[in-house]
Every structure is written in structure tokens, then in C-alpha cells.
Amino acid sequence: MSSNTENQSRIAFVGVGRMGANMARRLNDCGYQITAVNDVNPDQAAELAEEIGAKNCTKLAEVTAAADIIFTVVSNDAAMRQIFMGEGDNLLTEAEGKIFINCATLSPGLQQEVAQAAEAAGASAIEGSMASSISQARDGTLYLMIGGDRAVFEKTQPILEQMSVKLKYIGEIGKASQVKALVNMVMNINTAALAEGLGLADALGLDLKMICEVFANTGANSRVLETDAEDMIDRDHEAWFMAEHASKDSGIAQDLAQQAGLNLPLNNATKAQYDKLIEVGKGQLDKSAVSELTFKGRS
């Protein structure tokens, strides 16, 4: 861990849901100065601020003023555009010399747009795309994919190393978001496929524990089998990665495919399943809830 004298950079977080809050807690534990937090949920931000000794900023410009490095962990492109380019108050107010590390899963085009706006303000913005979940954020074992200026990455690397088990520099701004879209596209397809396999097995009267054992030792094995099968069987869909986020990320991949002139039928079908979950009011459940659409008698 970092000593309290090793790095004097002031760090702030915008977006302190379960991922952002745990990232802030991790760096706080490592001896870094977490000076400010902000969230659309003011009570959530206030609670974390009190816990880690940070300022709960109600204005985005206050966050920028209070920090040298600002992590953003927001929900979607619209939220990202608002915090960087919203009228009246945004993070690029008097932002010269500041570094923004944007960790949400967003469209590559918006990451490029934000980086250009930051550069115009005399600041820097890079991607820190995360291929991990809530517990990894708390433990400092994220898999982080970096896109943007390599020199900015190298400047912030000691901090990022405290948050991750693996750092991977992908390339120019937008490239990390492209890779992250592919990661989540394949993960979501695997999740939907597992839900169908288990749903069919259940309809055939097969023992689902046995099916999982067979899957684990054959070509049906996957990381999703390890993380989601039990939840699908038990109908335990506490959100680690919400279905509405799965839909969003599959949509990013869908857009990239269209731009590349490709048709991806499996991704399109998977997105349609997650869209249906949202339509029936289950979008804030975990992505494993896609099984609610594939088991007889559930949906």
C-alpha cells in the first residue's frame, strides 16, 4: 500500500454508487487524499464523505477545485455529457491542469468528445474501463483497461495500480471503451445463453445441479456459469450488474457493429431480452434475472 507521503495528489470521485464508493474507499485505505465526492444522490454522497473524511460537494465545479485527479463513475452517456458539458455547472470549470479518469462503460465517441473538451479546457481525460465488479473495486483487484494519452496514464499509474490486479493500456482515447463493449457483449450473450440452457433443462425435468456440473466440465463452461448459475436457479437477483446496464452495453456494441457494417444477431437477440426485462419492470435486478424470461412459469 501507499504510504501517506508517497503521493500527495488530491483525488475526487463523481458518481459514488457501489462501484465508485468502493473505489474511493480503496484509495482512502491506501493513504491517498480523497478530498471530494459528488453524486446525483446527495444522501449517498454525504454518507461516504463522512465515512472517508471527504467534502460532499453539491457543485461539480467545487469537485474540480478540490482535486488534482477526478474519477468519474456515472451511469450512461447522458450523465457523462451533463457532468462535463452541462450548462451552468460542470467539471471543466477552471479545470486547467486537472486529470479526469473516466471509468464508466460509455460509447467510444463520447469518451473522445469528453477528452477533446477537457483538452480545450487545459485538462486531460483518459479512460479507465473496468471489467470487474463491486467486490473487486473494494479489494483493489479491478481489471482496468486504459485508453488515452500514454503519458497521462503513466503519471496516474501508481494510483491505478492500487486499484487493480491488472492494468492494460489499450491505445488512444475511445479504444478502451471499444474493448469494454466487446467484453460486456460476450458476457451478456453468455448470460442469456446460460439462462436458456438452464430454463430448458428445468422444463425437461433435469436436475439443475447435475446440469451445472456437466456444463462446468464440457464446452458449455464459462465464467458466467460460475457467477450466475446458482442465482438463476435460486431466483436470487440482487444487483451486482444491473440488467438495464447490460442492455445499455449490448446497445453500445450494437451501435459499433452498425458503424462497422456488421450484423450481430446474437447480440441483437440478447439486447432484446434485456430490453424486455426493463419493460416488465425488472431492469434494476441483476443481469442473471434474464432467467426469469426463460424458466417456465416465471415471467
And the C-alpha cell for 218?
A: 464440457
Q: Which residues partner with 242 through β-bridges?
A: 286
Burial environment of residue 17 by CB neighbours within 10 A (0 to 12, 13 to 18, 19 or more)? middle
DSSP for 236-283?
----SSBHHHHHHHHHHHHHHHHHHT---HHHHHHHHHHHHHHHTT-T
Query: 86: which residues sit within 8 A by CB, 6+ positions away?
Result: 60
- DSSP reduced 3-state for 26: helix
CA distance 211 to 197: 9
**d(C-alpha 252, C-alpha 286), whole Å:** 19
Strand partners, 112: none
Q: Is the dihedral of CA 105, 96, 87, 47 positive or negative?
A: positive
Catalytic residue among 180, 271, 282, 287: 180
Residue 204, phi then psi, degrees to nearest 5: -85, 0
Rounded Cα distance between 37 and 49, Å, is 7
- Any idea how long the chain is? 299
Q: Is 209 a catalytic residue?
A: no
- In the DSSP assignment, the letter for residue 242 is B
- C-alpha cell read off for 89: 455547472
CA pair distance 294, 225, nearest whole angstrom: 16
Grid coordinates given for 163: 486499484
Distance from C-alpha of 205 to C-alpha of 186, rounded to nearest angstrom:
29
CA distance linking residue 195 with residue 274, whole number of Å: 12
Catalytic residues: 180
